[in-house]
Amino acid sequence: MSHMLTLIAPPGGLATAQLTQARAALVALGADAGTPAWLSPEEAADLPFAQLAPEQAMAAARQALGDSALDIIATPAEGRRKQLLLADMDSTIVTSETLDELAAFAGLKEKIAAITARAMNGELDFKSALRERVGMLKGLSTSALEATWQATELMPGALDLVGTMRAHGARCVLVSGGFTFFTGKVAALVGFHAHFSNTLELDGETLAGTVADPILDRDAKLATLKRIAGELGLPLAATLTVGDGANDLAMIQAAGLGIAFHAKPSVAAAARAKVDACGLRALLFAQGYTAAEITPYQG
């Protein structure tokens, strides 16, 4: 079969009957559909198919399964396991927007979060919005950085995703429009080989209210993907990218497998694949990994 349709649910949420429904929906459109195979019992399964476009297969399965809490991703059967991962940090590898949480220590979380939401949905220029938000934090004690980090939580499946891909020889890179203070800590904790982000400038023991140039934005994320793939001698088809905001969209669209993860509406609408119901383990199942192969990063 030329393609795989992967159905993924929160643990215990995927039934054999749903796989049967999805297969019937593909067959009704003229697809040659094979027998589903479990990747993780009642969590993820592959449905091989041919003679149907991936977009049609995903749409048909979604229509057949209605509002079920499932993620549905179609990929070519060949080359599913990617050799380079580029991941956004905020609201992707960690559950929060670290700049918004930092702003809470200045009493500005709601105001800054509103700007963040608009920037991540592509309504504002990223660079200008970043400078504006950081400027509002001028004079904030640097102790707020550590306090923010202590409250930061990993996204479910983050350790699984990076640990498993590392164990199978993939290069894993964190690329963020956030700040090096956080990306360095996240990279070390989760197991990324490298991290790229922005640098907050300091004035002694307080924030200077400025960001060092050049600012890492949408174009820089795409350039980083292409540069590292080139250094590794990999085609973009062998890469996986994941993120939630507008500054992630270019790299999501360029990768062999680009995932809009719990993404802002404009990003989800423009991405070929998305994950809304599940955590980051879904990215492993979309590559054909089984539950038995998942190896959480342990440092």
Between CA 240 and CA 256 the distance in angstroms is 6
Catalytic annotation, residues: 88, 90
Give the helix/strand (H/E) hosting 180.
helix 180-190
Cβ-based burial of 96 (10 A; exposed 0-12, middle 13-18, buried ≥19)? middle
Name the one residue in this structure whose structure tokens are 């396991």: 81
Residue 41's CB is within 10 A of a number of other CB atoms, namely 12
HSE-CB at 222 with a 13 A cutoff on CA atoms is 11
Cα separation of 21 and 61, whole Å? 8
Whether 44 contacts 7, CB under 8 Å: yes
Q: Which residues contact 107 (CB under 8 A, 6 or more apart)?
A: none
Q: Which residues contact 199 (CB under 8 A, 6 or more apart)?
A: 179, 180, 211, 212
C-alpha to C-alpha distance for 284 and 160, rounded to whole angstroms: 8
Contact 258, 74 (CB under 8 A): no
Which tokens go with 267? 């990003």
